């Protein structure tokens, strides 16, 4: 039986990109980037960014333009990466997945998990958390954009038999660690509107800060 990772690397990553190509069109430049807006609102200016689940790099292109940042992206869709290499030659893009990041330790001050964790294999979540933490510098910023339901659950993925969407608050993958704390969280809707009785549509952009030095204060009760 193939893993969801294998399925997305072999075909569904390209299929996903094809279905959503209009949203990633370089000509579709009128919409504001919600992550750029959020970072500006909380006064964070990234210098070196990695986006996991970057598609063709359109969002990285806006971040590079907004912050003059050095940008890198990784995505399972080869078609998306090949298109992005032509559209955004100043951004380093490559095919890959979150559980095996081909970057050095502490290489980025900002890492974005861009609406991808809900499709990752459950057995890979610990590996993903390790890889993200390994590549994020101390005092770095972690941004998670994903579904935001009231409790974890799964549902059948409508585009490929045997694949599931797993919805949960993915900030919990990191917030157990005292080196991470939440500094912002904005909840909206995947469909463009948010109703209290439609938790299946809720998505969130959650911003975490990392600081290993402040995680364990020295003898606070001495």
Instruction: Provide the pLDDT confidence category of residue 101 given band limits of 50, 70 and 90.
Output: very high
Q: Is 26 a residue whose pLDDT tops 90?
A: no
Instruction: For the chain, give the mean pLDDT.
Output: 93
Percent residues over pLDDT 90 in the chain: 84
Pick the CATH number of 4-210 from 3.30.70.100, 3.30.360.10, 3.30.465.10, 3.40.50.150: 3.40.50.150
Every domain of the chain and the residues it spans: 4-210
Residue pLDDT, tens place only, 188-216? 876 655 556 678 889 999 999 999 999 99
- What are the CA-CA distances from residue 80 to residues 17, 116, 123 (Å)? 6, 14, 26
CA distance 25 to 15: 15
115-119, 205-209, 217-221: the lowest-pLDDT one: 217-221
Q: Which residue has the higher pLDDT, 19 or 196?
A: 19
**pTM > 0.75: yes or no:** yes
Question: Which DSSP string do the residues of the chain spell out, in sequence order?
Answer: ---HHHHIIIIIHHHHHHHTGGGG-TT---SPPHHHHHHHHTT---SEEEEES-TTSHHHHHHHHHH--EEEEEES-HHHHHHHHHH-TTSEEEE--TTS--S-TT-EEEEEEES-GGGS-GGGHHHHHHHHHHHEEEEEEEEEEEE--SS-EEEE-TTSTT-EEEES-TTHHHHTSTTEEEEEEEEEETTS---TT-GGGEEEEEEEEE-STTTS-S-TT-
User: Which of 206, 203, 168 is closest to 184 using CA atoms?
Assistant: 206
CA 91 – CA 222 distance, rounded (Å): 50
Please check whether residue 84 is in contact with residue 93, taking contact to mean a CB–CB distance below 8 angstroms: yes
């Amino acid at each position: 039986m193939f893993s969801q990772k294998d399925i997305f690397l072999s075909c569904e990553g390209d299929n996903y990109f094809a279905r959503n190509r209009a949203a990633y069109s370089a000509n579709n430049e009128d919409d504001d980037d919600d992550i750029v807006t959020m970072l500006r609102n909380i006064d964070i200016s990234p210098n070196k960014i990695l986006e996991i689940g970057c598609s063709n790099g359109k969002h990285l292109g806006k971040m590079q333009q907004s912050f003059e940042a050095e940008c890198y992206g990784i995505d399972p869709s080869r078609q998306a990466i090949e298109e992005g290499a032509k559209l955004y030659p100043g951004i380093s893009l490559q095919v890959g997945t979150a559980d095996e990041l081909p970057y050095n330790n502490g290489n980025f001050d900002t890492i974005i998990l861009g609406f991808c964790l809900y499709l990752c294999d459950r057995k890979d979540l610990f590996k993903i958390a390790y890889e993200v933490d390994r590549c994020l510098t101390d005092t770095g910023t972690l941004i998670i954009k994903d579904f935001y339901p009231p409790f974890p659950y799964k549902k059948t993925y409508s585009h490929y038999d045997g694949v599931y969407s797993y919805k949960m608050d993915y900030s919990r993958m990191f917030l157990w660690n005292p080196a991470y704390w939440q500094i912002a969280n904005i909840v909206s809707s995947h469909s463009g509107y948010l109703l209290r009785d439609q938790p299946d549509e809720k998505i969130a952009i959650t911003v975490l800060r990392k600081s290993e030095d402040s995680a364990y204060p020295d003898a606070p009760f001495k």
